[in-house]
C-alpha cells in the first residue's frame, strides 16, 4: 500500500508520526483499496439510478443484467469508468473525514473511555456529531470531483434514456475545466444539497460501528484496539448496511442532480417530483440492491484496512509499547 520512500520516512522519524497523520494516511489508502475493488458495482448502481424509466425502452435491468450490458457494449473497461475521479476524490475525502472524525472524538470524548470501549448515551452522541461534522467537511471539499465521477460513469451509456447527453470528457482535469467554464459553480456543486442531507448516512454508520465495536470488546473482555479482523469486518459491514438502507434515497436524487448540473439546491424539488412520477417510492430505491452488494464489502474493506494500517503506523511511533 505504501511505497518504500514513505515507509522509510516513517521508520526514520517515528516520533514525528502524529495520530492525525496516521488517520489521514490510513483513510486515504483504505478508501483507494475499496474503491478499486468495487468499482464495477459502483458503475452499475449509478446507471440504474440515472436511467429514465418513463419510456418504453429500459436498457439496464438489475445488477447482473447491467453488468452484462456494459461488458457487451463497452468491454471490461466500461466497468471501471469513473475510477480515476473516484480515486482522486477519495484520497482527500478520507483524509479529511477520518482526520476530522478522530479529531472531534479526541476533543469531545475522554481518552480513557475511548480506549476501554465504554458505551454510554453521551459517547454515542459524540460519535454521531463527530461523524456529521466530518461528513459535512468532506462534502464541501470534494463535491466537484463526485460530479465528475457520476458524469464519467454514465457518459458512454448511449440509449439509456439519461437526462442529459454529454460530450465525452477526456479526463478529470478536462471535466473540471469544462464544467467550470460551461456551467460555473452551479455545475461543480450540483447535488451538494442531497449530499449534505446524506451526512445522516455517516452520522448513522460510524456511531453504529463504534457501538458494535464497543459491544464486541466488552463481550470479549478486551480493548477496542485489540479487536481482530473478523470482528472489525462484522462491525463495519453491519453499520454500513444499516446506514445505506436508511439514507439511500438521497443518493438517487444526488446522482440525477449531478447529471443535470442544476446547482446545490436548485431543482432538487423538481428531481424529487420527477422520481415520484416515474415510480413512486420505488424510484428512490433504484439500484439499492446493487448498492448493498457494493457498499457492505466496501465498508468492510475500508474500515478494516483503516484500522490495520492505522495500527501499523502508530506502532512505528510506539515500538516499545508493542514489545
Residue 49 has what pLDDT?
92
Residue 118 has what pLDDT?
52
DSSP per-residue codes, 84-133: HHHHHHHHHHHHHHHHHHHHHHHHHS-HHHHHHT---HHHHHHHHHHHHH
pLDDT per position as a tens digit, 48-81: 998 877 766 788 989 999 999 999 999 999 999 9
Residue 101 has what pLDDT?
83
pLDDT per position as a tens digit, 16-42: 456 666 766 777 778 788 888 899 999
What average pLDDT does range 242-252 have in this prediction? 91
62/289 Cα distance (integer angstroms): 9
What average pLDDT does range 152-181 have in this prediction? 76
Q: Rounded to two decimals, what is the model's pTM?
A: 0.76
Amino acid at each position: 500500500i505504501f511505497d518504500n520512500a514513505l515507509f522509510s520516512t516513517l521508520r526514520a522519524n517515528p516520533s514525528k508520526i502524529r495520530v492525525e497523520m496516521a488517520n489521514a494516511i490510513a483513510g486515504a489508502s483504505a478508501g483507494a483499496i475499496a474503491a478499486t475493488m468495487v468499482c464495477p458495482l459502483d458503475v452499475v448502481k449509478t446507471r440504474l439510478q440515472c436511467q429514465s424509466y418513463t419510456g418504453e425502452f429500459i436498457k439496464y435491468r438489475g445488477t447482473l443484467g447491467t453488468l452484462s450490458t456494459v461488458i457487451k457494449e463497452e468491454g471490461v473497461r466500461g466497468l471501471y469508468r469513473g475510477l480515476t475521479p473516484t480515486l482522486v476524490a477519495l484520497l482527500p475525502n478520507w483524509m479529511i473525514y477520518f482526520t476530522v472524525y478522530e479529531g472531534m472524538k479526541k476533543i469531545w470524548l475522554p481518552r480513557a473511555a475511548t480506549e476501554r470501549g465504554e458505551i454510554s448515551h453521551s459517547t454515542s452522541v459524540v460519535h454521531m456529531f463527530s461523524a456529521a461534522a466530518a461528513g459535512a467537511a468532506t462534502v464541501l471539499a470534494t463535491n466537484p470531483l463526485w460530479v465528475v465521477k457520476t458524469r464519467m460513469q454514465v457518459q458512454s451509456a448511449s440509449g439509456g434514456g439519461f437526462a442529459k447527453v454529454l460530450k465525452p470528457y477526456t479526463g478529470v482535469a478536462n471535466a473540471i475545466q469544462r464544467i467550470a467554464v460551461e456551467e460555473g459553480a452551479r455545475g461543480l456543486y450540483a447535488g451538494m444539497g442531497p449530499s449534505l442531507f446524506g451526512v445522516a448516512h455517516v452520522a448513522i454508520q460510524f456511531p453504529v460501528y463504534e457501538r458494535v465495536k464497543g459491544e464486541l470488546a466488552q463481550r470479549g473482555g478486551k480493548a477496542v484496539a485489540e479487536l481482530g479482523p473478523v470482528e472489525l469486518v462484522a462491525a463495519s459491514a453491519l453499520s454500513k448496511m444499516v446506514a445505506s438502507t436508511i439514507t439511500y434515497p438521497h443518493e438517487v436524487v444526488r446522482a440525477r442532480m449531478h447529471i443535470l448540473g442544476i446547482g446545490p439546491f436548485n431543482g432538487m424539488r423538481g428531481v424529487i417530483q420527477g422520481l415520484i412520477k416515474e415510480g413512486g417510492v420505488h424510484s428512490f430505491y433504484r439500484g439499492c440492491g446493487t448498492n448493498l452488494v457494493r457498499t457492505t464489502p466496501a465498508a468492510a474493506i475500508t474500515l478494516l484496512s483503516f484500522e490495520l494500517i492505522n495500527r501499523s503506523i502508530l506502532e512505528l511511533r510506539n515500538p516499545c509499547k508493542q514489545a
